Amino acid sequence: MYIVVTGAAGFIGANLVKALNVRGETRIIAVDHLAYADKFKNLIDCDIADYFDRDEFLDRLEQGDFDDDIRAVLHQGACSDTMETDGCYMMRNNYRYSMMLLEHCQNNDVPLIYASSASVYGAGKKFVEDRAHEAPLNVYGYSKFLFDQSVRRVLPEQTAPIVGLRYFNVYGPREQHKGRMASVAWHFFNQYKQNGKIKLFEGSDGYAAGEQQRDFVSVEDVVKVNLHFLDHPQYSGIFNLGSGRAESFNTVAVATLNALAAHDGKEGRSLKEWVTEGVIEYVPFPSQLVSKYQSYTQADLKKLRAAGYEEKMFDVATGVARYVEALASVG
């Protein structure tokens, strides 16, 4: 039987495919949309059984071509551009496609593990998997929220496991194709390599310059949690997936710079020192992000821990250092 990974050539999807390979899994159906062709590079070192465009796969699924031949679906495919303004495209790609997969999986007793998003919480300050705390700020967040709501209605009468994972700010290898939607760690690394400086936003929403805080989570941890639920089909529900820590953009910048310094055999510096030397600069907060920006996120992990996941998550200092060293090592 096959494991299906949608969004397989993307950031998290490709990391999942690689992790499955490490386990000895090669009967993997990779599903994606290669309008941006360079994403294929994420799969060069991976072994898969077959590849399908997202629309072809759905057609084949509806025709019954994979009946009784799918072990699980790891659904990572989505438009993740939070600045996308085409709501019709967003809802068709993120919501309706997911609904069709959910229906198939329930009708055929196939476990579904899918990517939700912390964007469903909007500007809230409490990040608990509960309807009372959900108010997305953009159509991307709404598309994820609406599917989560549909899953909640199915869960009481589910015929197969369903797990939604609300990713917070994920960073790590294989995200180079994401452009402006790549992690801040990726952007900071490339800014420094190109210009010798890192730029952060000035103060906003009551936060000092660079002190807006997010829950930054390593893709290594994201993959481990996905595989935990693949291995433990007794659990279903919607779960936060972050580090459980709110850390500032300044902290990410310092971790990036100090990792680069360590790679070059040099001593790290404090935030104040990097700012004084002009390596960290602050730029005006973009007007287009006003009222659409999460200045603070921190995953409540109680529900995830109750589902048996006990491994410690990387903090920024450790996880970003590992990532930057990997980036620096390949030039």
The pLDDT tens digits of the residues spanning 239-250 come to 999 999 999 999
Distance CA 181, CA 78 (A): 13
More confident residue, 187 or 82: 187
What is the rounded average pLDDT for all residues in the chain?
95
Q: Is the pLDDT of residue 136 over 90?
A: yes
Average pLDDT over residues 57-76: 94
Q: pLDDT value at position 36? A: 83
The per-residue pLDDT for 43 is 97
Q: What percent of the chain has pLDDT over 70?
A: 99
Residue 331 has pLDDT above 70, yes or no: no
Task: Count the residues in the chain.
Answer: 331
Q: What is the mean pLDDT of residues 185-209?
A: 94
* Confidence (pLDDT) at 35: 86
Strands (E), the chain: 2-6, 28-32, 50-53, 70-75, 112-117, 162-167, 169-171, 198-201, 213-214, 216-218, 237-241, 247-248, 280-283
Is residue 291 predicted with pLDDT exceeding 80?
no
Contact in structure between 222 and 12 (CB atoms under 8 Å): yes
Q: How far apart are CA 305 and CA 68, in angstroms?
A: 32
* CA distance readout (Å), 270 to 73, 188, 244: 44, 16, 24
Question: What pLDDT does 161 receive?
Answer: 98
Q: State mean pLDDT over 103-109.
A: 96
CB 170 within 8 A of CB 139: no
d(CA 116, CA 109): 21
> Is the pLDDT reported for residue 191 higher than 90?
yes
Compute CA 178 distance to the chain's CA centroid, rounded to the nearest angstrom. Answer: 11
Q: What is the pLDDT of residue 288?
A: 80
Q: Once rounded to an integer, what is the mean pLDDT over residues 255-270?
A: 96
Instruction: Give the model's pLDDT for residue 290.
Output: 73
pLDDT above 90 covers what percent of the chain? 85
pTM: 0.95
∠ Cα 25 27 33 (to 5°): 110
- CA-to-CA distance for 82 and 204, rounded, in angstroms? 19
pLDDT (mean) for 276-301:
89
Region of residue 145 (left: phi > 0; alpha: psi -120 to 50; beta: else): alpha
pLDDT tens, position by position, 21-36: 999 999 999 999 998 8
Res 80: pLDDT: 73
* Radius of gyration, CA atoms only, the chain: 20
**Residues with a known catalytic role:** 140, 178
Across 124-141, average pLDDT = 94
Q: How far is CA 10 from CA 36, 53, 125, 178, 299, in A?
A: 10, 13, 30, 8, 23
* pLDDT band, very low/low/confident/very high, at 271 (cuts 50, 70, 90): very high
pLDDT at residue 295, as a whole number: 86
**DSSP string computed for 48-103:** -SEEEEHHHHHHHHHTTTTTT-EEEEEE------TT---HHHHIIIIIIHHHHHHH
